[in-house]
A and B are shown apart, each in its own frame.
Chain A
């Protein structure tokens, strides 16, 4: 029932979009259509040079195209780059490169590691003001033996050499931490405290839109007690930019 509903949705979606598909002309001797969006799927049809095809959709590096006879198949990016626009100019099917690693505006990532002996899982979203400076918003869940909690913070990240494949960064930030001691083990009540932190790490360009990231942060928790707490955090994970 759900499947039928979803099917209906996509069918109407494709009908609505059908009247404005992008058309390109084949400039290579022929364009190879695969049965699916992947290298392993066999070629079942070829479109000759000079014929036009319409692009129905894109998934990762594959394009679903339809030729004049109504045959539909998947074509990879490298072949699509050899097609021409209706006015005869070359089509630009961009693929992410290390240049986008330096210049991309948005980044989303997932890291996990150790936060003062507890496990921590973090997600973040970043926006680059320029290649050197970006602002990140972090949300983390902390899962420890004696207490659980969550943490939210805003960071400013500075990269001195953003064009390097392994790009070091320095970060400063502030936020809040909420801790809930496990009542069976530790006597205590839930607390919400402000935090400040400094840190450093590396962003490493892997491939396409993929980035690996490793970092160390040192936190100061401004508690209402006499002493502030200091917590060290190590994390590794991955991110992608767009």
Chain B
């Protein structure tokens, strides 16, 4: 198996090095083609009635990033439901797709076993603190407007997210799959209110045999575009 990969790499190496004639331009962009000088500017269809003036173009304010905080409740399987809070940052690639990173923190309570048995503790208090991070791909669906009374309309969207991350809980970092749906209400063109529902799935073997735990989270949040 390994020798097969070595052969594969040698082939890949030869293959790519053949393209290495390109390395003569290693620190330049090579022979970039310069467009032939145009003899006259393209004809204008219309001549707008504005004064000709020399001005420096101000940059357009690009607001593709969204940053914010959230808080809500998180149900940790077998460990009860507790407060969760965290932060998120998103980058909007197109009007549909965005990528998002979230971090959050919650705390597990006592399992039924621990309550019934009296004193026995499965994990220490510090191990009950749950922290997670997730990297998600999101897609906006069902854009629309909502109306408050006669005079106010706000833009809104539903979105779906899915991604991967890691959760630290019960003394271990756990590979986590994260899926969910959210609602974004734009209070202004730059400030949004969110409601989110997410499921964090990870494997846990604390009770003898390994199982996949569903940890449901519901939160509200505020984000700002910048």
Contacts and interface: CB of A to CB of B under 8 A. Distances in A.
Interface of A: 2-3, 6-7, 9-11, 13-14, 17, 20-22, 25-27, 35-41, 49-50, 52, 55-64, 84-90, 103, 110, 112, 119, 121, 123, 129-133, 141, 143, 148, 158, 160-161, 168-170, 182, 198, 200, 207-210, 216, 218, 230, 232, 238, 240
A38 B143 contact: yes
A6 B222 contact: yes
Contacts of A148: 172-173
B51 interface: yes
A41 B164 contact: no
Contacts of A143: 166, 173-175
B188 interface: yes
A60 B164 contact: no
A2 B222 contact: yes
A100 to B, nearest CB: 13
Interface string B39-78: 0011011111111111101111111100001000000000
Contact of B20 (A110, A158, A218): A158
A88 B29 contact: no
Contacts of B92: 59-60
24 contacts: A3-B187, A7-B187, A9-B224, A22-B58, A26-B48, A37-B95, A39-B95, A40-B143, A56-B61, A59-B95, A60-B92, A60-B95, A62-B95, A64-B189, A84-B48, A86-B55, A87-B55, A88-B50, A129-B26, A131-B29, A133-B26, A170-B15, A210-B97, A240-B93
B214 to A, nearest CB: 18
A59 B5 contact: no
Given A6-B191, A121-B164, A238-B137, A130 B26 contact: yes
Contacts of A141: 166, 173
Nearest to A121: B164
B114 interface: no
B13 A40 contact: no
B52 A88 contact: yes
B209 interface: no
A242 B8 CA distance: 32
Contacts of B189: 56-57, 64
B172 A7 contact: no
Nearest to B19: A160
A36 B157 CA distance: 10
A88 B44 contact: yes
A103 B28 CA distance: 12
B27 A40 contact: no
A161 B173 contact: no
Contacts of A10: 188, 190-191, 224
Contact of A130 (B25, B50, B164, B190): B25
B30 to A, nearest CB: 7
- Ordered nearest first, which 6 A-B pairs have the shortest CB separation? A160-B19, A143-B175, A36-B155, A170-B16, A25-B48, A119-B175
A200 B5 CA distance: 11
Contacts of A216: 5
A40 B144 contact: yes
A115 to B, nearest CB: 11
A156 to B, nearest CB: 11
A17 B61 contact: yes
B127 interface: no
Nearest to B140: A38
A132 to B, nearest CB: 5
A123 B136 CA distance: 12
A2 to B, nearest CB: 5
B32 to A, nearest CB: 10
B139 interface: no
Interface string B79-94: 0000000000001111
A209 B93 contact: yes
